């Protein structure tokens, strides 16, 4: 666990990883449960290359992980706290 300024740096890195609306949507969907790319594409209505690109960013930031399931990779959140952060942010945005 980070303390002091390191915690702010870690929080900033997380928020940067969530800075694109599609990444927020991906995290919200993964908060419900594990999903393969084609399921995210269908649910979000976004092109597969775009979803894959943003999953790479989230994976690089340590927000999501992938596990091979046969021919596909199923993605899930590394930490469920991120889903709560996203849910709170979306809820707050809907209040305005």
Express each pLDDT in 42-86 by its tens digit.
999 999 999 999 999 999 999 999 999 999 999 999 999 999 999
Domains parsed from the chain with CATH numbers: 5-95 (1.10.10.10)
For 24, counting Cβ atoms within 10 Å of its Cβ (0-12 exposed, 13-18 middle, 19+ buried), the class is: middle
pTM of the model: 0.90
Do 15 and 55 meet the contact criterion of CB atoms below 8 Å apart?
Answer: no
């Amino acid at each position: 666990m980070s303390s002091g300024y390191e915690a702010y740096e870690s929080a900033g890195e997380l928020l940067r990883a969530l800075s694109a609306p599609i990444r927020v949507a991906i995290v919200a969907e993964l908060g419900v449960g594990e999903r393969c790319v084609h399921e995210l594409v269908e649910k979000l209505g976004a092109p597969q290359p775009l979803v894959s690109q943003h999953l790479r960013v989230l994976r690089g930031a340590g927000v999501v992980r992938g596990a091979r399931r046969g021919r596909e990779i199923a993605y899930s959140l590394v930490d469920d706290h991120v889903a709560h952060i996203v849910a709170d942010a979306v809820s707050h945005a809907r209040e305005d």
